[in-house]
A = this chain, B = another copy of it.
């Protein structure tokens, strides 16, 4: 099984707030960046899924903030599939910076075709089996 690289996000000046730390809303964006990269590494780039006329909205997200980060910090993001069903899959994001745990995130997603939810196992079987394999990690 492919060894996955963690995703690295360097905090930008404009991502920091009045308290001098990365604004909490930005971690949701870092999760998206890491997820896109993770799927790319597995050969399921955004274009490939979009080309199927299927799209994958975010069903829910959560973040637990453990430690602040700031301008120029490198956030190292490890992505895992944490749950998986016919209709929904969930990622877990472990974000570390300077040797500290900074944030644990989760996001859940489904697949939609022509405005209706579709079973991933049927509509995108190759993606489904790849994600299922990763779930056992």
> Do A25 and B32 contact each other (CB < 8 Å), given the known contacts A57-B65, A62-B60, A65-B57?
yes
**B20 & A14 in contact (Cβ 8 Å cutoff):** no
Question: Which of these, B17, B28, B64, B72, contacts A46 with CB under 8 Å?
Answer: B72
Q: Are B63 and A61 in contact (CB under 8 A)?
A: yes
Q: What are 24 sample pairs from A and B whose C-beta atoms fall under 8 A apart?
A: A12-B32, A13-B17, A13-B18, A13-B46, A14-B17, A14-B25, A16-B17, A17-B17, A18-B18, A18-B20, A19-B55, A19-B57, A25-B25, A25-B26, A25-B28, A25-B29, A25-B32, A45-B72, A46-B72, A47-B72, A60-B63, A60-B64, A62-B62, A62-B63
Chain A binding surface, main DSSP class? mixed
CB of A61 within 8 A of CB of B24, answer yes
Tell whether A80 is near chain B: CB-to-CB under 8 Å: no
Instruction: Tell me the minimal C-beta distance from A4 to chain B in angstroms.
Output: 18
Residues of B within 8 A of A59 (CB): 64-65
Please measure, in the bound complex, the distance between the C-alpha atom of A38 and the C-alpha atom of B70, giving whole angstroms.
Answer: 19
Asked if A88 is an interface residue, CB under 8 A from chain B, the answer is: no
Q: Which residue of B lies closest to A25 (CB)?
A: B28
| A61 CA / B63 CA spacing, docked (Å) | 5
Contacts of A64 in B (CB 8 A): 59-60
